[in-house]
Amino acid sequence: MTHCYQLGGYHIVLDVCSGSIHIVDEVAYDLIQHYKTTPHDVLIAAVHDRHPDQATVEELEEACGQIEALREAGKLFTPDTYEPIAGQLKAKTAGVVKALCLHVAHTCNLNCSYCFASQGKYHGDRALMSFEVGKRALDFLVEHSGTRRNLEVDFFGGEPLMNFQVVKDLVAYARSIEPQTGKHFRFTLTTNGMLVDDDVIDFANRECYNVVLSLDGRKEIHDRFRVDYADNGSWERIVPKFQKFVRARGDKSYYMRGTFTHANPDFLKDIQAMLDLGFTELSMEPVVCAPEDPSALTEEDKPIVMEQYEKLAELMLQRRRAGRPFTFYHYMIDLKGGPCIYKRISGCGSGTEYMAVTPWGDLYPCHQFVGEEKFKLGDIWSGVTNTAVRDEFAACNVYARPECRDCWARLYCSGGCAANAYHATGKITGTYAYGCDLFRKRMECALMLAAVNQLEGAQ
């Protein structure tokens, strides 16, 4: 299967199952698109008729030889032989947990109406995780991590800095058990910025592999939704703190995470606003909410969003060529490395190797399922007791979704987000069609950028 598309002035051919990418000219693009469905002599004549001034018959014959050589080398028209191994990685690692999302605070100091977590409460009571629960969660992770050396822990909420002392104590505990367990903990902190101060910055820059900073871009866009309980916007209070945070971070990872809604499908203006503020590691995510919510993206928004993704790719090329690069979460792709085929088929690992822990120690498949009682997996004392739900997530892979079988992007999205699928279709093995359309556009942009960067000698 190949996916042929034009973007940024380039003709691009992706060989889906080998991952090979070819940048070709207009004539080769025409040849490749019809190569498998048209008899050779008919193809040569037809392409020559369509491009009489661009190639001779001899040159077309030579190009066909090149195409055939690529096919024989496994770089074009590669068949999909992966279905038999679809469940292999999850079967091999069954019972192994390597990442936890610790909900250290089911409460928040902001009152964002679009929050998927219902202002941090996850449709339940406000609560803070105790040190004892957090410590048990870390022990649970170590006990169930098998031979995994790298363990990931996200401090999440709500607003995790509303429980900062527990966060610090848990990190100290984790570091104390690293030598005896042979494990390496990698911490991430997600924050709305309201409680960021020098103590937080010093701690995060010392202990957190990554920090995720919530900012929606332009002040008027950010303050439309991200308000406190007195209905005051938060932009002016958090931006100086984030700027100080990022400056102090040096070369350690961070990214600004924005959300765009029906109010700003023209989100490139928000990307530009963040660049103007000095931030260069960016993401802007489509809002996740019920279709009837006034902030939900509509079908009318879709072409605007698609165009924004393309313009974003153009901006990234321009700025990289001008020596002012920036990153966009969804356009980060490692062509020479990148996940192996087993990971690509298996997906994110929610419900199996990755789980969320509530302040009370309950386990859920991921942070987006917390509060959905039927998805409760168990708890950190008894482990996974709802094996039916765990097995349902273990069976999730690219080939579990009929809609994915003919999708050219399946080995990049791994079958998509189970939470988005559930909220859109009522099934974790469903597909969120709107999200799929956006994902495919993002992948076209990401692959084009990565290929052009490689052609131009920039990685």
Residues that bind another protein (CB under 8 A): 17-25, 27-28, 31, 55, 59-60, 62-63, 66-67, 70, 74-75, 78, 81, 85, 88-89, 92-93, 96, 98-99, 148-150, 152, 186, 285, 288, 334-344, 346, 348-349, 353-354, 368, 411, 413-414, 416-417, 419-420, 435, 439, 450-451, 454-455
- The structure tokens 């799929």 sit at 436
Minimum Å gap between C-beta 351 and another protein is 12
Burial of 340 (C-beta count, 10 Å sphere; 0-12/13-18/19+): exposed
- Residue 145 tokens, joined: 């991590």
Minimum Å gap between C-beta 237 and another protein is 25
Separation between Cα atoms, residue 338 and residue 354, nearest integer Å: 20
Where do the H-state alpha helices sit in 105-258?
131-143, 164-181, 198-207, 219-225, 235-249
Minimum Å gap between C-beta 268 and another protein is 20
The H or E element that residue 50 is part of is helix 40-50
Nearer of residues 74 and 182 to another protein, judged by Cβ: 74
Nearer of residues 201 and 397 to another protein, judged by Cβ: 397
Asked if 253 contacts 280 with a C-beta cutoff of 8 angstroms, the reply is no
The amino acid that residue 22 corresponds to is H
Backbone angles phi, psi at 197, to 5 degrees: -145, -175
Minimum Å gap between C-beta 24 and another protein is 5
Asked if 156 contacts 190 with a C-beta cutoff of 8 angstroms, the reply is yes
Minimum Å gap between C-beta 190 and another protein is 11
Nearer of residues 313 and 450 to another protein, judged by Cβ: 450
The DSSP string of 349-390 is -BTTTEEEE-TT-EEESSTTTTT-GGG--EETTTEE--HHHH
Minimum Å gap between C-beta 84 and another protein is 12
Minimum Å gap between C-beta 244 and another protein is 27
Q: Directed axis angle between helix 198-207 and helix 164-181, to 10°?
A: 20
Minimum Å gap between C-beta 35 and another protein is 12
Q: Distance between alpha carbon 78 and the CA centroid of its chain, in Å?
A: 26
| Cα Dmax for the chain | 76
Nearer of residues 167 and 443 to another protein, judged by Cβ: 443
Nearer of residues 33 and 66 to another protein, judged by Cβ: 66
Separation between Cα atoms, residue 389 and residue 381, nearest integer Å: 18
- Residue 138 tokens, joined: 């870390």
- Between the CA of residue 102 and those of 211, 343, 377, what are the distances in Å? 14, 24, 15
Minimum Å gap between C-beta 165 and another protein is 26
- Between the CA of residue 425 and those of 18, 418, 430, what are the distances in Å? 31, 10, 6
Calculate Rg over the CA atoms of the chain: 24
Nearer of residues 42 and 69 to another protein, judged by Cβ: 69
Nearer of residues 235 and 354 to another protein, judged by Cβ: 354
Nearer of residues 99 and 256 to another protein, judged by Cβ: 99
Nearer of residues 200 and 448 to another protein, judged by Cβ: 448
Burial of 346 (C-beta count, 10 Å sphere; 0-12/13-18/19+): buried
Nearer of residues 62 and 236 to another protein, judged by Cβ: 62
Minimum Å gap between C-beta 178 and another protein is 16
